[in-house]
Amino acid sequence: MTDLRYDRAPGDIPSEELRASSLPEALIYTIGLVVAFVLTATSFWIANTSLLWPGGVGLGLAVLAIAQMGIHLVFFLHLTSGPDSTNNILALAFGLLIVFVVVTGTIWIVSDLNDNMLIPSRDLMNMHIQH
């Protein structure tokens, strides 16, 4: 018999046999809220401290942002690697793909527009001033 306690996210509604041994739903949300608050406070501390190497601040904020997303996915959206969450994970992956395509396409288009923008040269500006 497999141990079903590890095949669900915190806060998932357990089956009747697991209901007696699981934590209350409010406690799960409170734990998630406290951990999210600690990660947010740490992000503000990292951004405003001089104790870290300046080049490492961006990396530290990125790591904390990824950890924050993980906390939200597990504690509030109840995503797991179990078979019940397959459609949710696929929907999340598709959403991330769409966001990546939109952001990358926007950066590409704006960069291309910037490269092709007609910028008057200094000689052209001097001719305009002389007349």
- CB within 8 Å of 74: residues ≥ 6 apart: 9, 10, 32, 80
Same structural domain, 75 and 92: no
Report residue 114 as tokens.
């910037």
Same structural domain, 7 and 37: yes
Domain boundary among 80, 96, 117: 80
Q: How far is CA 24 from CA 5, 31, 71, in A?
A: 14, 11, 18
SS3 sequence of 50-93:
CCCCHHHHHHHHHHHHHHHHHHHHHHHCCCCCCHHHHHHHHHHH
pLDDT of the residue at 126: 72
Same structural domain, 62 and 109: no
Same structural domain, 13 and 75: yes
- Which residues, given as ranges, of the chain have pLDDT below 50? 1
Same structural domain, 64 and 93: no
Say what angle helices 54-71 and 25-48 make with each other, to 10 degrees: 170
Query: Structure pTM?
Result: 0.59
pLDDT of the residue at 86: 85
The answer to whether 35 and 22 are in contact (CB under 8 A) is no
Domain boundary among 80, 99, 116: 80
pLDDT of the residue at 10: 64
Same structural domain, 54 and 92: no
Establish how many alpha carbons lie within 13 A of residue 58's alpha carbon, considering only the half-sphere containing its beta carbon. Answer: 2
- Residue 130 belongs to domain spanning: 87-131
Please give the tally of structural domains in the chain.
Answer: 2
Amino acid at 114: N
